[in-house]
A and B are shown apart, each in its own frame.
Chain A
């Protein structure tokens, strides 16, 4: 799990995926986030995937499942920073990930969790 970092900001877990994930890393991330959402009572999870050069069906499914699980724990997940070529490829692969909330940038994503102040603080973080 060295390829991801998680920091908390006003009740939102800010997750940055920094490099290639194996399937095992992806499953570990899902378990770790689920635990952290419950323990910290987070109201949101923001997953920044801008470093990812590809998202295949396994990782896409994992992201979708993270969103589903956190939603049951009263935290909303937003996936931010998907590269355009990744979006094109996912759709061609047959994955439209219905119901998954997305935003183009971290600050756009944070503003979904309530206001500009948190977004400003994230940029300074």
Chain B
């Protein structure tokens, strides 16, 4: 199992950063052969999480990594901010809960779209959300 260190790093400091994250994620997803449906899920999850990083975390950075697994490739997105952190993680992950007046589907929706999900947060120190998507083996298409 080899993890290629960060392939791309995209700063999220303003709304345009959300668009740039979407574009970077799509490019990497296409380059490693994700299906069209999986690309769409990846980019949508990236958009939700990038918006959270901007709106709740006060900005941060998105890192895109690739990991070669046996018979498959995993694409990992890590969103990191140094914002206020999430007080109640269980509540934040609940469908429909929003602290910013949104639909409250960003975090819970991204978790549903991803194959693997991880959230680390500490009050006053920031939040890191990691989602991983696994593409079928290279011979799959």
Contacts and interface: CB of A to CB of B under 8 A. Distances in A.
Interface string B7-38: 00000000110110011001000000000110
B44 A94 contact: no
Contacts of A95: 103, 105, 109
Interface in A53-90: 53-58, 60-61, 83, 85-86, 88-89
Interface stretch (A8-16, A17-25, A43-51): A17-25
Nearest to B47: A56
A39 interface: no
A114 B39 CA distance: 37
Contacts of B47: 54, 56, 58
B106 interface: yes
Contacts of B39: 85
A88 B44 CA distance: 11
A95 B95 CA distance: 11
Contacts of A20: 19, 22-23
A84 B93 CA distance: 27
Interface residues of A, number: 21
A93 interface: yes
Chain B binding site: helix, strand, loop or mixed by DSSP? helix
B16 A22 contact: yes
B51 interface: yes
B43 interface: yes
Contact of A54 (B40, B95, B106, B108): B40
A39 B51 CA distance: 33
Contacts of A55: 44
B32 to A, nearest CB: 17
A92 interface: yes
Contacts of A58: 47, 51, 102
A53 B26 contact: yes
A54 B22 contact: yes
Given A22-B19, A58-B51, A94-B95, A53 B103 contact: no
- 5 smallest beta-carbon distances between A and B, as pairs: A93-B109, A85-B40, A56-B47, A57-B105, A85-B37
Interface of A: 20, 22-24, 53-58, 60-61, 83, 85-86, 88-89, 92-95
25 contacts: A20-B19, A20-B22, A22-B16, A24-B15, A53-B43, A55-B44, A56-B47, A57-B105, A57-B106, A61-B103, A83-B40, A85-B39, A86-B40, A88-B40, A89-B41, A89-B44, A89-B113, A92-B41, A92-B109, A93-B44, A93-B112, A94-B95, A94-B108, A94-B112, A95-B105
